[in-house]
Amino acid sequence: MKVLKIGIVEDELIIARTILSTLDELGYSHCGPAINYTEAMEMLDRHSPDLLLLDIQLSGKKDGIDVAQRLNELYGIPFIFLTANSDIDTIDRAKKVKPHAYIVKPFTKEELFAAIEIAFSNFTSNHTNVRTEQATSYRTKDFMFVKDGYVFRKIFLHDLLFLQSDANYVTLHLKSEKKVMVRATLNDFIENLDPNAFIRIHRRYSVNISLIEDIFPTEVMVGGVKVPIGKSHRENLLNALGIKES
């Protein structure tokens, strides 16, 4: 069974160490701690945690709710607020970003364990439902049908430039500059594609490897569009293309 990797966003070092120690006792893997918004984004891109433990009060202008909003927009992973704030205003702000759990400090090891397991189980169940819907897509070697609302649209794979993830939706960018949005996670959608034809280059993007025109330090050019390369994906991309950096 896979060991969950838990990301920690907490700006109080003593509390962060306590959380790390507790996660070790519970048998989870972990990364962090990040102490502010910028470090949290870097940790997400570099370490790809399965779930985030997120303090609301952080160093800097942006707080944990800003991080959560970005999580929902770009990463689509579950998160749990760990906070000393239980006032009405904070809870009202927190509800808007739909946390998978909300724990008020101080908390026990048992409370943390229960919150993580239930949050991830519910998240996984939701993704299973998405995968079932996506499985209705039909693919051959040259084309696939994807469900777009009430219509199944035929997509020729040689016309598909790249895929862009936005939480539980994937946008298909075509040569014609048309876009088709499909309800699915990026991980689930690319399971329907030839792994030799499409390559993941970022948490949010997968590109048609045969249509890559140029490779820049942090981007690739595909069909005249620049698509970002995640730091953790660059080496795999270059290896797939047979490129060695000197």
Selected residue with higher pLDDT from 33 and 137: 33
Q: Average pLDDT of 200-215?
A: 93
Q: Assign 167 a pLDDT band (cuts: 50, 70, 90).
A: low
Residue 217 reports pLDDT greater than 50: yes
Residue 132 reports pLDDT greater than 60: no
d(CA 161, CA 173): 6
- Min mean pLDDT across 140-144, 178-182, 186-190, 237-241 is at 140-144
Q: Which helix (H) or strand (E) holds 24?
A: helix 13-26
Selected residue with higher pLDDT from 245 and 148: 245
Residue 125 reports pLDDT greater than 80: no
Spell out the CATH class of 5-132.
alpha beta
d(CA 219, CA 213): 11
pLDDT digits 0-9 by tens, 51-96: 999 999 998 899 999 999 988 888 778 999 998 887 888 889 899 9
Q: Which helix (H) or strand (E) holds 113?
A: helix 109-134
d(CA 136, CA 133): 6
Q: What is the pLDDT at residue 130?
A: 38
* In the chain, where the domains are located: 5-132, 138-240
Q: Is the pTM of this model over 0.75?
A: no
CA proximity to 24, closest of 40, 8, 10:
8
Q: What is the pLDDT at residue 150?
A: 60
Bridge partners of residue 182, in order along the sequence: 170
CATH architecture, domain 138-240: Beta Barrel (2.40)
Q: Average pLDDT of 130-145?
A: 54
Fold match flag (5-132 vs 138-240): no
Residue 131 reports pLDDT greater than 50: no
B/e letters for 86-116, b = 16+ CB within 10 Å, e = fewer, are eeeebeeebeebebbbbbeeeeeeeebbebb
pLDDT digits 0-9 by tens, 96-111: 999 999 999 989 999 9
